[in-house]
Amino acid sequence: MIQEFAKKYNLPKFRTLQFDKAFYQNGIESFDQLSTFPADLRERLKAEVEFSTLSVEKELISAHKDTIKILMKRADGQRIEAVLMKHKDGRNTVCVSCMVGCPVNCSFCATGKMGFGGSLSAREIIDQIVYFQRQLVKSGERVSNVVFMGMGEPMLNLEQVQQAIDIITDPDKLALGSRRITISTSGYIPQFKQLVENGFRGRVAISLHAPNQELRAKLMPVAKIYPLDQLLEALDEYTALTNKRVSYEYVMIKNMNDKTEHAYELVKLFSKRLAHINLIPYNPIREVEFERSVRDQINRFRDILTRGGVEATVRVTMGDDVNAACGQLADRENKKNTDKKIRI
C-alpha cells in the first residue's frame, strides 16, 4: 500500500514491515498511531497517503450482533457495501464487494439491476477488510475469512482481485491462508482458468441457480456465453488439480427452479462430483416478479439432493434484519434521490 511512498523516500524494508504490521494486523485508527515511525516520516505519510479510500456512511448491526453491514462511499460518491459475519465457531468472515453494481445482470439480482458503476481497485477491496479488522482488534479478534460475494463479478475485475488476494495472503499483511478465501463467480470460464493458473488455491463458489443449460441461460445471461457443460468441465479440472470441493449457490425461486424434477436433475449432475450445494431462499427484489420458494419445498428439494448423494444445505441468512440480499442496501442508497418510496 505504501510502495510508492517507500520508493520515493527510499525507506528500508523494516519500515514497510512496521507499516504493514500496524496497518493490516494491529488495526491502527489513523497514521498518528503509527508509533514505530519517527514523527517527521509520519507527517509526510499523513500528507501523501490516504488512510482509507472509502468512508463509512452507514453501519447496520443485526439484532443478534452477529452481522454488521456497512455502506461505504468512494471518493466519487458511489456506494458499495461490505459485511462482517461473526460465526459461533469463532470465524469472522468479511464479505467484500469488487465492483459498484455489476454488468452481468442476472435476472434475480439487485446488484445486477443497479447497472455497472465501475470496478474497485485492490486498495478499495482491501480497505473494506481493514475496516473490520480495526473493529475486531478492539476485542482481541481478527478477520479470519474473506469471501468475494458482495457486489460485482470478481472474474471481470481479475487483476485487482488478484492483487487484493496477494495482500490478504501475504504473511506480513493480512496473513490469511488461501483456504480462508472464497471467490464466487457466475461462471466466466477463461478468467477462472486464469485465476487458477495464477496460483489461486482457495475455495470456489459458483452461482449455479439452475440444473440445466436452458433454464440457466434464461436466468443468467452469462450462461449463453459460457454453457453449463463447459463450466462443469473447468470445475472438474480444478477439483482434479486441488482435490477441493466446489460450492454451488442455488437461489430458490418459486415455480422457476425449485421443482422436484430440478432436484433430480441436480442429483444426476452432482452425485459423482465433489460438490456442495447451498440452497438460498430467494430475496425478493422489486424489478422482477419472482417469489421465494416456500419453506416446505426448499426442505423437500434439499432432501432429494441429500438422499441422492449430493451434499446440500439451506443457507441460514445471517442478519436478515439488517437487510436482505447482497447489493440491495447500496442499490437503495444510490437511488435514494430518485426513488422516495424505498424504505431503508
What are the catalytic residues?
A: 81, 326
Kindly indicate which of the ranges 77-85, 100-108, 263-271, 315-323 contains the residues binding ligand SF4, using the contact rule CB under 6 A: 100-108
How many chain residues are in contact with ligand SAH, going by CB under 6 A? Answer: 18
57, 333 Cβ separation under 8 angstroms: yes
Least distance in Å: CB of 174 to ligand SAH? 20
Helix (H), strand (E), coil (C) string for 191-234: HHHHHHHCCCCCEEEEECCCCCHHHHHHHCCHHHHCCHHHHHHH
Instruction: Decide if residue 186 touches ligand SF4 (CB under 6 A).
Output: yes
**Closest separation in Å from C-beta 109 to ligand SAH:** 4
131 interface partner picked from ligand SF4, ligand SAH, none, CB below 5 to 8 A per type: none
Residue written as cell 461462471? 187
Q: DSSP 3-state assignment of 21?
A: helix
Contact 257, 293 (CB under 8 A): no
Residue 331 binds to ligand SF4 (criterion: CB under 6 A): no
For residue 82, the SS3 value is strand
Nearer to ligand SF4, 11 or 100 (CB): 100
Determine, following the binding rule CB under 6 A, whether residue 329 of this chain makes contact with ligand SF4: no
Per partner kind, with CB cut-offs from 5 to 8 A, the member of ligand SF4, ligand SAH, none near residue 257 is none
Cα–Cα dist 226/217, whole Å = 9
User: Which residue stretch of 16-24, 65-73, 183-191, 297-305 sits at the interface with ligand SAH (rule: CB under 6 A)?
Assistant: 183-191
- Residue numbers 52-91 binding ligand SAH by CB under 6 A: none
HEC sequence for 265-296: HHHHHHCCCCEEEEEEECCCCCCCCCCECCHH
153 belongs to the binding site for ligand SAH (CB under 6 A):
yes
| Cβ contacts of 164 within 8 Å, gap of 6 or more | 96, 98, 122, 125, 126
Sign of the torsion formed by the C-alpha atoms of 319, 321, 322 and 323: positive
Taking the C-alpha atoms of residue 192 and residue 22, their distance in angstroms, rounded to an integer, is 33
Contact 273, 236 (CB under 8 A): yes
Measured between alpha carbons, how far is 160 from 39 in angstroms, rounded to an integer?
Answer: 32
| Nearest distance in Å: CB 153, ligand SF4 | 4
The answer to whether residue 238 forms part of the interface with ligand SAH (CB under 6 A) is: no
Indicate whether 106 belongs to the interface with ligand SF4 (CB under 6 A). Answer: yes
Choosing from 16, 25, 26, 105, the residue that interacts with ligand SF4 (CB under 6 A) is 105
Classify 313 as helix, strand or coil: strand
Choose among ligand SF4, ligand SAH, none what residue 105 binds, the Cβ cut-off being 5 to 8 Å by kind.
Answer: ligand SF4
Q: Does 282 bind ligand SAH (CB under 6 A)?
A: yes
Site size toward ligand SF4, by CB under 6 A:
11
Q: Please name the residue that has the C-alpha cell 477491496.
A: 125
Q: Binding of ligand SF4 at residue 207 (CB under 6 A)?
A: yes
Interface residues toward ligand SF4, by CB under 6 A? 102, 104-106, 109, 111-112, 152-153, 186, 207
Residues of this chain that bind ligand SAH (CB under 6 A): 102, 108-110, 149, 153, 184-186, 207, 249, 251, 280, 282-283, 285, 325-326
